[in-house]
Amino acid sequence: MTKIGIAGFGTIGKAVGKWVLAQPDLELVGVVGGDRAKVEQSLADLGADVPIMSADALALQADIVVETAPTAAFRDIVVPALTAGACVVTVSAAALIENMDVVDIARAHGGRIIMATGALLGLDAVRAAAQGTIHSVTMVTRKPPKSLIGAPEVVRQGVDLSALTEPLMLFDGSAREGARGFPANVNVAASLALAGIGPDQTRLQIWADPALERNTHRILVDADSASFELRIQNIPTIEKPGTGRITALSVIAAVEGLTSALKVGS
């Protein structure tokens, strides 16, 4: 039986936990959360008798650690898990870009990092194109203003998103810069960058659009093997509008791909 640990038991972590508990060949051995009372309530909602523990303790218990915590907790969760030789499944691509040394830690200790697709699509095609030559990758993200409230770059600009009556471009630059200015909103762009030509070459625009109810991403890739355009509209979660419902499902799909007899897609 594969032992699963979940670090970060908010909107995504709770959904993943519910799925793990329903799988006969998986065991949820522990969870990590910053607000113990909220984690206890979430576990009670699921009817789960699962211990709450530190990231260090979880690293010694789990074969696979699902990391869905806030960006600031990324290293505290991932480093112990990788040092213990565990597999880490995460959607925190923005945090990974700023902490690429964890790849060396994984390599040195027999650990592994799996970047789940998250709220994106087409990463298989981008990864395949990257085996040849990609000339350019551009991503245009448009979100309802409420999904972007509190982002560091929005705060820096002093924009009152609630007062918008027409679309406003908040950012136009590299994926690396975008990840710093919108760490909770652009994991999709960071994942795209890691799959393709890197965070400094991947171009990103971020718009706040009051006419939208869904988070929308449009990706254009020009490579020597193919040119393609991808577009997805993600339905936001009620609990956290900046997070699409499909994000938790992509984490579940990643874990399933690691533990099932059949995996579809590269």
Q: Which are the contacts of 126, defined by CB distance < 8 A and separation ≥ 6?
A: 134, 137, 192, 195, 196, 221
Query: What are residue 220's phi and psi, to 5 degrees?
Result: -120, 125
Give the strand order in the sheet containing 87-90.
26-32, 2-7, 64-67, 87-90, 112-115
What are 103's two structure tokens?
């790849």
Q: Is 184 annotated for ligand binding? A: no
Q: Is 99 annotated for ligand binding? A: no
Distance in angstroms (rounded) separating the CA atoms of residues 138 and 79: 31
Q: Do 110 and 86 contact (CB within 8 A), yes or no?
A: no
Give me the residue label for tokens 């260090």.
56
Query: What are residue 47's phi and psi, to 5 degrees?
Result: 65, 35
Helix (H) or strand (E) holding 141: strand 134-143
Give me the residue label for tokens 């982002």.
151
Q: Which of 142, 143, 203, 217 is catalytic?
A: 217
Query: Is 217 considered catalytic here?
Result: yes
The catalytic residues are 217
- Report the binding-site residues for NAD(+): 119, 187
Q: Which residues are annotated as a binding site?
A: 119, 187
